[in-house]
Amino acid sequence: MPSSVTFVNILAVEPDQQQALIELLNEGTERVISKRPGFISVTILASLDRRRVINVTRWESADNVKATQADPEAAELAARTAEIATPDPGIYVVAGEHTR
């Protein structure tokens, strides 16, 4: 098991809801996710065609992800997210990194 994992949620959204989704994710990250044990960082990516948002969260371990998914505040945030977007979540590991 790798020591650090990346939780990626690929969210499909109607273009007119993309901004609301971004605000919900930023607010939820600030208020809930960033306070969770094992949280390292999050990057929220918005597609230029406005049909997708990708939430990339780094955690110290897969156990931190599981514990967060079971947390009531995080579950409530996930439920609010699912009201305006279609989530496609998964756990990933970094398989390559290159910089200029």
In angstroms, the CA 79 to CA 94 distance is 27
User: Which part of the chain contacts a second copy (CB under 8 A), choosing from 46-54, 68-76, 77-85?
Assistant: 46-54
The enclosing H or E element of 73 equals helix 72-84
Binding-site member from 12, 20, 43, 82 for a second copy (CB under 8 A): 43
Task: Give least dist CB 79 to a second copy, A.
Answer: 20
- Is position 99 an interface residue for a second copy (rule: CB under 8 A)? yes
- Is position 16 an interface residue for a second copy (rule: CB under 8 A)? no
* Alpha carbon separation from 53 to 20, 72, 73 (Å, rounded): 11, 23, 21
Count of residues touching a second copy (by CB under 8 A): 38
Residues 6+ apart with CB under 8 A from 40: 4, 57, 58, 59, 60
- Is position 29 an interface residue for a second copy (rule: CB under 8 A)? yes
DSSP 53: E
- Is position 56 an interface residue for a second copy (rule: CB under 8 A)? yes
- Is position 3 an interface residue for a second copy (rule: CB under 8 A)? no
- Is position 42 an interface residue for a second copy (rule: CB under 8 A)? yes
